[in-house]
Structure 1
Amino acid sequence: MILVVGGTGRLGRAVVPLLLAAGHQVRIMARGKSQPFPQKMGDGVELLRGDLGSDADCRQAVAGCTEVVFTASGFGIKDSNPRAVDRDGAIRLVRAAAAAGVRHVVMMSMPGAAADGPIDFLRCKAAAEDAVRSSGMDWTIVRIGALLEQRLEIMRPPLESKGKLPVFGSGSAAVTYTSVRDAAAIVVRALRDPALRNRVIEWGSQTLTANEVTEALLAQAGHGSVQRIPVAAIWLLSVAARPVSPFLARIAGAAVWEDSGAAAFQFGPGRAEFPDMPITGLQQVLEASGASGRPA
């Protein structure tokens, strides 16, 4: 049995079918708040409504499992936060897994994760990484960039409702994205390939600027214009919003961090080691979304 924590989220929903196709039994742990909790997901899938803030829920989730995939994140959820999910929740789950005799944990993380990282999310990811490394279990840390499909979903609503695509700053800073398809594929590979045990791999799909993403979206839509927002205004928002909306504050803070160019990373070495793995770029994601505008 393989436990997928956050299995109803965007990445988890991509991982589960791949595991089932490979013949695995899967248990999904999710709160069922940020995403609808399904009543049934077909044969081979066990659903567990659980909270990473609960020791009892974590123990129940890992019971009988041989491997765990941690895809949950509190960064983009309004009623949660990275400290509760990506740090404390991850550590709680890892400790429960080790106590239950789980053999291998695949932990999703992000390039730049460090105890002294410039944004809180990276510091939370560093704490989770430390937990799996010291757990006594085999582990794989998969550091991915911002999910490409998720970024497109965030950018599209203003274009559809107002004909505007907001761009922070000059839009010229490079950002490395990872497509959901590519992230799910390397997770499944990590579960079966000994070459990915007890190591960190940084996994990207394409490095793009906001201007390049915007141009592609405008070309697909056939209408709209760019609305540029000064970085100084976003920085002020990241500070002013902290007492009233921690969610908005961390989104703004991440935008300022991205504009610095720090969100770009080198993923060539990992790709060279596993050349058979899929590479899904912006144009492929846009083509897959078709007329609906929704990433497949």
Structure 2
Amino acid sequence: MVIRVGFVGAGYIAQWHAEALAAAGARLVAVADPAGAEGFAAAWGAVAYRSIDKMLAAGGLDAVHVLTPPHLHCAHALKALDAGLHVLVEKPFAVTRAEAEAMVLAAGRAGKVIAVNHNFLALPAYQRLKRALAEGVPGGIDSVDIRWRFPLSPLRSGPFGLWMLREPANLLLELGPHLFAFAHDLVGPLTEIDLRLSKPVTLPGGRVQYQGWHMRAKAGAVDVVLNLSLVEGAEDRSVEVRGVTAVARLDYGNDLLVMDRPNASDIVVNPLRAQVSLAGQHLREGLRNAARQGLSLNRKSPYGLGFRGAVSAFHRAVAGGVLPPAFSGDSAVAVMAGIEAAVALVPMQAVAAVEPRDLGPARVLVIGGTGFIGRALTRALVDQGRRVRVLSRGRANPFADLGDGVEVVAGSLSDPVALQAAMAGISVVYHLAKAEETSWESYLHNDVAVVERVAEAALAAGVARFVYTGTIASYDASDAAVPITEATPFGPMENRNLYARSKALCEARLQEMHRLRGLPLVIARPGIVLGEGGPFQHWGIGRWHGAGAVRIWGAGRNLLPFVLIDDVADGLVRMGEVAGIEGQSFNLVGEPLLTAQGYFAAIRRLTGVQIRVARGNLVVFYLVDVGKYLLKRFALRKTGLRKPLLVDWKSRAHLSAFRNDKAKAALGWQPEADRAAFEARAVGYPGLFGF
């Protein structure tokens, strides 16, 4: 019998669950998400619902995957269990031990399977480590060190409304299950937990988060160390087990296992033999992973393998098998108990009160105000003495330090009633929200249709100005001999990258509404935006491989359309104020000051950090893309694929020069023109790497 599954939540993690579900032979038949799941559901042949209650009432399910924000896990799991369904819960299982225990008790009463997705415990390399331990290698365990040293970019560039950033303890609840699950599965429950916090960072709104979490604990006679480091730096997600006969090192970020064992050679040969053994093991592990990735056509990444293993284990248990202890409800309760003990050690903090100001009612609405550009724009408007309304999916407020200068209202862009309410009394609307989808159908539903819906609400509300942010990526910037201005047509978009194509279509639909119905439209196209609060790993420059290495688009010798975030915010403010510019567009690009090579030279000069930079051959990028296209079409039989274009790859390098004369003349806009000042504001500020 094929197990019929419903998802609660259609965010980022849902795609990983869906792919693992397909590999397990189960079928996704329903998806519930209050923000709308139509695009995701359609891609998997499922029915979309706006609530878990409606999905459960429709019936036809055997199991539910709970993929919502952590504070909703318990309520959603209990509803599914009450409906007589098996439940797999994404980590963290719950936000308290009491919630976890209630979920396990409810599953017991219902006679249903409840499991937690501790996905890294399903990795093949970890399973090999468990077998080695069972066979006596590395022997009696003295200590276990578990590390998650992986940059968390939202701490520096947002979005700051994420659940994990709302409270200091939420970071440990979000990431801690990876570490505590390894510890519990290897050595059992933890006691004597101690916590030291480091590298504090103050987020917009005044709340402090910690980027270093250092925990020590005991498990019987075993010493356990757990480390979270979230600053920019080399990746190290590993488990090191020291025993009597060896040290085992699991790289769970890359699914590698190496055993450092003593040998019986004489003193001169001994160290050489030890290093040869380690080198051979690394070569073996690398070849194993390369072969697996190649033969699976890149469908078995280490991260994906963990999901496949955990999801398959759950569905085998649903079909009558035995659920491995690592994914059981009892394990989830033990993990939550350890995390709760550590959370109790996190110091309480209070955000300083802000003096109230008489700014009058909000006349400006910013949609997408919690993003990088949206935050800067909102703050610029408040600095000018205006009260701003920000429409957000959640109620988290990254502007608490601005007091009553910002009014955050929760609502979905798919809800016309919420849009109508958000625009009440508004004169100027900034629509900065964007979609990041994997199919054209999803872009049509979650980007183009949403933009049209927002514009309809603006027309109904009678706003005086509607400012929309497109992208310079929609231009064909592949020819160095052809400069780009606002008068430059986008050209054929059918086979361009989906993001650029969707943004171009949004602009076309809005321009049509301007011509036919009087939408007071102004379009902004920001360049490659740099500055404090944004990511220095900008994908407009190249393909990044962690914080320390990048392959730039092309040779990196042409001047790029960089622009400072403060200058973009200033340009947007002016676009909401200047009269008589309806129907026009403005490319908000800075003065031609830096190449890609110059960008990294500036980082080296101002911070002392040398990032490894490789030049990218655009023709090779294109040919690799063609190869992937052919494999997906003819080997994997996928449909709806976009044909690769060389012009698309050349455009990523921004070979064409971008002009900003129109924005300067019509708006009175003056972007930073001094190179030294530009570099200092772009990459020379404290905290570029998080510390």
Alpha-carbon shift at residue 282 of structure 1 (Å): 6.3
In 2, Cα distance between equivalents of 1:237 and 1:122: 20
**CA distance change for structure 1 residues 219 and 85 in 2, over 3 Å: closer, same or farther?**
farther
Residue from 169, 177, 192 that aligns with 2:562:
177
Q: Is 2:591–2:671's contact at 8 Å kept on the other side of the alignment?
A: no
- In structure 1, the partner of 2:375 is 13
TM-score by length of 2: 0.36
String of CA shifts for 1:178-206, please: whole Å, max 9, x gaps: 22111111111122221433322222113
Alpha-carbon shift at residue 43 of structure 1 (Å): 0.9
- In structure 2, the partner of 1:116 is 492
Alpha-carbon shift at residue 102 of structure 1 (Å): 1.8
Q: Is 2:390–2:408's contact at 8 Å kept on the other side of the alignment?
A: yes
- In structure 1, the partner of 2:576 is 191
Alpha-carbon shift at residue 238 of structure 1 (Å): 5.0
Aligned 1:1-296 pairs, distance under 5 A: 1-32=363-394, 37-38=397-398, 40=400, 41-75=402-436, 83-84=444-445, 86-111=447-472, 112=475, 114=490, 116-117=492-493, 118-133=496-511, 134-135=513-514, 136-149=518-531, 150=534, 152-154=536-538, 163-207=548-592, 208-222=594-608, 223-235=610-622, 240=628, 256-259=650-653, 261-262=655-656, 264-275=657-668, 277-279=670-672, 283-288=676-681, 289-293=684-688
Secondary structure at the aligned position of 2:538 is classed as: helix
Amino acid in structure 2 at the alignment position of 1:266: R
Secondary structure at the aligned position of 1:200 is classed as: strand
- In structure 2, the partner of 1:247 is none
Alpha-carbon shift at residue 293 of structure 1 (Å): 1.8
Alpha-carbon shift at residue 21 of structure 1 (Å): 2.6
In 2, Cα distance between equivalents of 1:137 and 1:255: 34
In 2, Cα distance between equivalents of 1:269 and 1:162: 36
String of CA shifts for 1:265-287, please: whole Å, max 9, x gaps: 21123324445634267643542
RCO comparison, higher one (Cα < 8 Å, 6+)? 1
In 2, Cα distance between equivalents of 1:282 and 1:76: 36
**CA distance change for structure 1 residues 182 and 61 in 2, over 3 Å: closer, same or farther?**
same
**CA distance change for structure 1 residues 32 and 235 in 2, over 3 Å: closer, same or farther?**
farther
In 1, Cα distance between equivalents of 2:492 and 2:370: 31
String of CA shifts for 1:227-252, please: whole Å, max 9, x gaps: 334334543565639979xxxxx9xx
Q: Is 1:181–1:280's contact at 8 Å kept on the other side of the alignment?
A: no
In 2, Cα distance between equivalents of 1:292 and 1:229: 28
Task: Work out the percentage of aligned pairs sharing the same amino acid.
Answer: 23
In 1, Cα distance between equivalents of 2:504 and 2:375: 24
Alpha-carbon shift at residue 91 of structure 1 (Å): 1.5
CA RMSD of aligned residues (A): 3.9
**CA distance change for structure 1 residues 176 and 161 in 2, over 3 Å: closer, same or farther?**
closer
Alpha-carbon shift at residue 6 of structure 1 (Å): 0.2
Q: Is 1:173–1:258's contact at 8 Å kept on the other side of the alignment?
A: no
String of CA shifts for 1:44-72, please: whole Å, max 9, x gaps: 32112233233333333223322201111
Alpha-carbon shift at residue 30 of structure 1 (Å): 2.2
In 2, Cα distance between equivalents of 1:99 and 1:19: 24
Q: Which is higher, the Rg of structure 1 or of structure 2?
A: 2
